[in-house]
Amino acid sequence: MAKVITIAQQKGGAGKTTVAAHIAVALSQKGNRVAVVDIDPQGSLSHWHSIREEKFGEGYTGLTFTSLSGWRVGSEVARLRRSQDYIIIDSPPHTETEARTAIRAADLILIPVQPSPTDLWATKATLDLAKAEKVPVRVLLNRVNTNSRLAQTIANELPELAESMLGNRVLFAASLMEGRCATEVEPSSQAAKEVKNLVKELLALVRDADEEEDEADAPIEKSEKSSKKQLENA
Ligand SMILES: Nc1ncnc2c1ncn2[C@@H]1O[C@H](COP(=O)(O)OP(=O)(O)OP(=O)(O)O)[C@@H](O)[C@H]1O
Ligand SMILES: [Mg+2]
């Protein structure tokens, strides 16, 4: 049965789509069957996937892609769970109803937050939704400049903070432009390392304890100490 990770954040532009694509591709590169579900009417992830199809050929993107309206997400996820290992849902900003259905369908919620006051303040609404639905949640600091005091202050304010974080790196955006992700375009880049560490952390959270223990036990890469530690040491 697939594990479902929903990327949610009511604040627009926090990095939901960027994070969803990168997690999905990294999981696929590890040999998993991965479905991506876009319930955002803006269709950014759909756009990315269509560029990907032009590049790799239809049916060869390494992902099963579905775009649908939020109210159908429950039944679609139930269907996909049988054939996939992981399902990644990208949700829209500003819509509580759609986000709620996507949160309800998930095993884990990931909330990207940029180190800005407005992102911080908007995060509570999404955290409350996840808590109301009793779904485990992690907050992901995204687009971080590690030497920023503000990022550290905001990290200290955030509950459920993920150990991993993503830096402010052009490669995250540039790779999406060509229908790919950082781990494909520059596998040894810092951006790719950050994504791999994030995926390692997410897998440890959603996977049954007895599955793939060896990987979960692998040490986190040296440069990828916990997000708070990285910011403190900067
Ligand atoms: N870690 C990062 N480093 C650099 N740029 C980033 C990073 N994460 C996201 N971005 C950029 O920030 C912008 C917003 O990202 P994205 O579209 O993923 O956010 P979103 O939460 O999906 O937005 P929306 O709420 O509109 O759906 C994009 O231009 C994207 O390229
Ligand atoms: Mg988006």
pLDDT in tens, 100-122: 999 999 999 999 999 999 999 99
Closest ligand, as measured to the CA of 94: 1
Mean pLDDT calculated for residue range 194-218: 77
Does residue 182 contact residue 189 with C-beta atoms inside 8 Å? yes
Whether pLDDT at 180 is above 80: yes
Number of the ligand 1 atom closest to the C-alpha atom of 166: 1
Query: Residue 114's Cα: distance from chain center in Å?
Result: 13
**Is residue 41 in contact with ligand 1, taking CB distance under 6 Å?**
no
Number of the ligand 1 atom closest to the C-alpha atom of 11: 25
Mean pLDDT calculated for residue range 172-192: 98
**Is residue 16 in contact with ligand 1, taking CB distance under 6 Å?**
yes
Mutate to test the pocket of ligand 1, among 17, 36, 88, 175 (most ligand atoms within 8 A of CB): 17
pLDDT, tens digit, for every residue of 32-82?
A: 999 999 999 999 999 999 999 999 988 899 999 999 988 899 999 999 999
Distance 219 CA to ligand 1 centre (A): 29
DSSP E strands, 91-158: 108-113, 137-144
Amino acid at 44: S
| Confidence at 233, pLDDT banded by 50, 70, 90 | confident
3-state helix, strand, coil in the chain (%, to 5): 50, 15, 35
| CA angle in degrees (0–180, nearest 5) for 30-142-153 | 140
Instruction: Indicate which residue's Cα is closest to atom 31 of ligand 1.
Output: 173
Number of the ligand 1 atom closest to the C-alpha atom of 142: 1
**Is residue 142 in contact with ligand 1, taking CB distance under 6 Å?**
yes
CA distances from 201 to 75, 161, 220 (A): 28, 12, 9
**Is residue 49 in contact with ligand 1, taking CB distance under 6 Å?**
no
Instruction: Indicate which residue's Cα is closest to atom 1 of ligand 1.
Output: 143
91 closest CA partner among 79, 104, 82, 78: 104
CATH homologous superfamily for the domain 3-233: P-loop containing nucleotide triphosphate hydrolases (3.40.50.300)
6 DSSP β-pair partners: 89, 109
Domain boundaries, the chain: 3-233
**Is residue 50 in contact with ligand 1, taking CB distance under 6 Å?**
no
3-state secondary structure at position 142: strand
Q: What are phi and psi of 18, to 5 degrees?
A: -60, -45
Instruction: Indicate which residue's Cα is closest to atom 29 of ligand 1.
Output: 173
